[in-house]
Structure 1
């Protein structure tokens, strides 16, 4: 046993979790039988006894006793004279069981066998990690930040498995240092170069959904259903919820008393604003709720093209669009409609369509204004020149000429 430290090999198996004893013994026996076949050409007349708890191994070769000089296969047969050296009462035709010491296989074969055993152990471990995390895709896990690189971060779980959190899967305002605890959702699991690669994410909608399940018991128990989640990580998120129990207010339950439940989620997401709305099959009402906190005056739907024209009072337009346009973008993704916002003016009846000025204003300029929701004269005049220039990319001189033409219409 000095040639091969079997205890180390067996210990490698003990450190694996959820590996049943039968699988362990089968792999060990398979590796040793491969060595026997390589040395003797066959393993059918060998018995292998393994005790992994103690690191013990016994290999016994069974051979039939034949008359002296009549051995045709040394692996399967043994001369009577040789058999009598083992035990003095053997007779021709009987079977001899002889223990084969591990050293007899030669150092090179033994080292090759050990390498094969280690490879099988590592392969088994990789398969176990892959299967474990494949079943946990979409679940939140906690890990310790082990190393930080420019494009990704290495995270170690409680079993010392290596997980990867790419930079693009981190919230923009995330900041971690080595040793910090990080929570993320398992986003993807695949095999690369025969090694499992577990990808985490803090930007996926599933991460926010799992956080709601942890913080809101009604969501975890299924009393409240999350219909859809859309996010601009670190900026804003919209969550449509529904309850089939009329006694439960889904929005109130998700927000919690004085916002206690939602605040803990917001903190985890680095102060990401979260709008929780009641889901409804009424498309107009859903769009109106999705554009919260803006108050909608009226909505015109084009179901064929999945477009919605939303009219609001001038002071509500900026609320509907939101900072950086996040509110209207998320509302469009949540509802599935392409939403265009229009100002509603008290003098709307006296307004004039921009198309009426096509003889004075070039068509491509009119199209530029219409793309930002300004399709009437007053909708252009209601906005500041700088705002129009920023949103349309038109020259300031061009915008001033257009406003002069439109203003003359009402004078």
Structure 2
């Protein structure tokens, strides 16, 4: 079939019909037609030729042209599509590199094979345009709720019709054992939208904590308006959840607004989440107060916060222990997720026993190291002294506040403490040297003899060895393996070295060795990235 013998307007009508059906721009369809006709022409005139086709957007007339580009002599690679400046002179006045010689060529006739090939090219380009349109439509909707209709189930995954595309709800993103049949209506959270070779992939979730947050935003106008903010969400999908809210209007109770009249608002969310019980908690800037709220309905006696290790100890009455922990640890787990803290729960009795054990161990330490009687050692512990360093280097005035301690006694206590510490330091340094630690590491500022001994036991004996360490290897950290957090003990973690201190020391060692130019540093040392990247494992630095 020759193009010239066909109804030229039919091309435009076909392009418009396809564009309407696929909801894409007609221009994209026409460009696909031009590309398919150009390929057919190349099969007729030669694959190495640069044949271009232009379809008039008003008349539908298709014009075929051969294009040759002017290039430098040494750059000619395709003699059918490229010419030198000298070769172009018969065709162009004063030809320059980059100019094009355009010749009209006769239209081609599309045989059966060529027509089928052209059809496949057009369909492929239309599919690509349709996929791009779908991706552009949904990429900005990630993080929102969408309504759809169940189309089918594949290996436990639900395929959902979301209007102009399909989305997938994986079986691990469904709540509990909920099941769906074709044509069931479903509401889900758009968790991710990815551009892949097989087309845009829209991943839905009903277990994501933000799904519940978005549901509350739909049910509570104050949240939508920004008067109330959802600060944190923790879920055990299908069973229980905790949500922390704060009000920026003192006249509005954030918890009451989320509950609604007779529980109407929260019940609407509970119904969507298959009966999931929801604890609505007032958010508080004070972490201890917030944690007490998060552990509701359990009562809390005392909270001890360890800022350095980002851990918190909660003391509850003996009869409240099971309520604070919850069934299978659910309550404390959700409270930990909500606050972002590692929580240890103790009863009053357990905390009392632990405090007594610490008191006894510190008393024994002072009795043995400082040659004190039990009463005097207990006085030091009662005044808050926990180790020999505090006794040795504290301002003497603090010792004088203890009943029965005068200037001579205070001086003697500090002298004994310093003698013991010096003896321990000498023993640790001798042990480190015996293990082969070199002077370059011994003289490095910031490492105590005990630290040197610990490093030597792990094979770190030179400044070069130390400089190759990662910060988390020294300060400790967490490894996430298949979603579970596993603690990694740092070589110097027991000496309470922080991640920042480890970073500084490692970077200083690298500068001293000439591995790093100090002028290139921006003040703060960068986090070490020497650990291996792994799909299933990643490091979370920090003690």
Q: Report the equivalent of 1:136.
A: 141
CA distance in 2, matches of 1:307, 1:262: 32
1:12-411 equivalent positions in 2, closer than 5 A: 12-17=18-23, 19-40=24-45, 41=49, 43=51, 47-50=54-57, 57-60=60-63, 100=107, 104-159=109-164, 161-344=165-348
Counterpart-to-counterpart distance in 2, 1:317 and 1:208:
28
Asked if the contact 1:9/1:117 (under 8 Å) is kept, the reply is no
Give the drift of 1:260. 0.6
Give the conservation status (yes or no) of the 8 Å contact 2:22–2:130. yes
Provide Cα deviations, 1:277-297, integer angstroms capped at 9, x if missing partner: 111110110110000111212
Shift of 1:12: 2.7
- Determine the structure 2 residue equivalent to 1:74: none
Q: How has the CA–CA distance of structure 1 residues 351 and 210 changed in structure 2, closer, same or farther, with 3 Å as cutoff?
A: closer
Q: For structure 1, which runs of at least 5 residues remain unmatched after alignment?
A: 64-96, 359-411
Write the distance in 1 (CA, Å) between the matches of 2:177 and 2:65.
70
User: Are 2:233 and 2:242, in contact at CA under 8 Å, matched by a contact in 1?
Assistant: yes
Contact residue 153 and residue 166 of structure 1 kept, 8 A: yes
Give 1:256 deviation, angstroms: 0.9
Paired with 2:117 and 2:219, the residues of 1 have a C-alpha distance of 54
2:22 is paired with a residue whose SS is: coil
Q: Is the 8 A contact 2:18 2:29 kept in 1?
A: no
What CA distance in whole angstroms lies between the structure 2 residues aligned with 1:254 and 1:348? 37
- Tell me the distance in 1 between the aligned counterparts of 2:188 and 2:308: 39
Q: Which moved more, 1:35-44 or 1:293-302?
A: 35-44
1:94 alignment counterpart? none
Between Structure 1 and Structure 2, which shows a larger proportion of strand residues? Answer: 1
3-state SS, counterpart of residue 292 of structure 1: coil
1:356 deviates by 11
The structure whose RCO (Cα within 8 Å, separation 6+) is larger is 1
Q: Deviations over 1:296-325 (max 9, x none)?
A: 121111121222221222332222112221
Please list every run of 5 or more consecutive structure 2 residues that lacks an aligned counterpart in the other structure: 67-103, 362-543
Q: CA RMSD in A?
A: 3.4
Q: 1:221 to 1:257 in 2, by over 3 A?
A: same
| C-alpha distance 283-29 of structure 1, shift in aligned 2 (>3 A) | same
Deviations 1:180-199 (A, max 9, x none): 11111111222444322211
CA gap 1:33/1:300 in 2 versus in 1, 3 angstroms: same
Give CA deviations for 1:162-219 in whole Å, capped at 9, x if unaligned.
2111110001142212221111111122244432221110011121111111111111
Query: Residue 277 and residue 195 in structure 1: after superposition, are their counterparts in 2 closer, same or farther (change >3 A)?
Result: same
Does structure 2 retain, via aligned residues, the 8 Å contact 1:39–1:105?
no
Aligned in 2, Cα 1:332/1:9: closer, same or farther, shift over 3 Å?
Answer: same
Q: CA deviation at 1:98?
A: 10
CA separation in 2, counterparts of 1:320 and 1:210? Answer: 28
Residue 60 of structure 1: how far off its partner (Å): 4.3
Contact kept, 8 Å, 1:236 with 1:273, in 2: the verdict is yes
CA distance in 2, matches of 1:162, 1:147: 11
- Give the direction of change, closer, same or farther, for the CA distance of 1:169–1:349 in structure 2 (3 Å limit): closer
Structure 1 stretch 186-195 or stretch 276-285: which is displaced more? 186-195
Rounded to whole Å, the distance in 1 between the matches of 2:65 and 2:150 is 56
TM-score when normalising by structure 1: 0.68
**Contact 1:230-1:330 within 8 A present in 2 as well:** yes
State the 1:241 CA deviation.
Answer: 1.2
CA shift digits 1:339-381 (9 cap, x unpaired): 1222236x997999679999xxxxxxxxxxxxxxxxxxxxxxx
Please report how far the alpha carbon of residue 2 of structure 1 lies from its aligned counterpart in structure 2 after TM superposition. 10
CA distance in 1, matches of 2:351, 2:132: 68
Mapped to 1, the partners of 2:196 and 2:261 lie a distance apart of 47
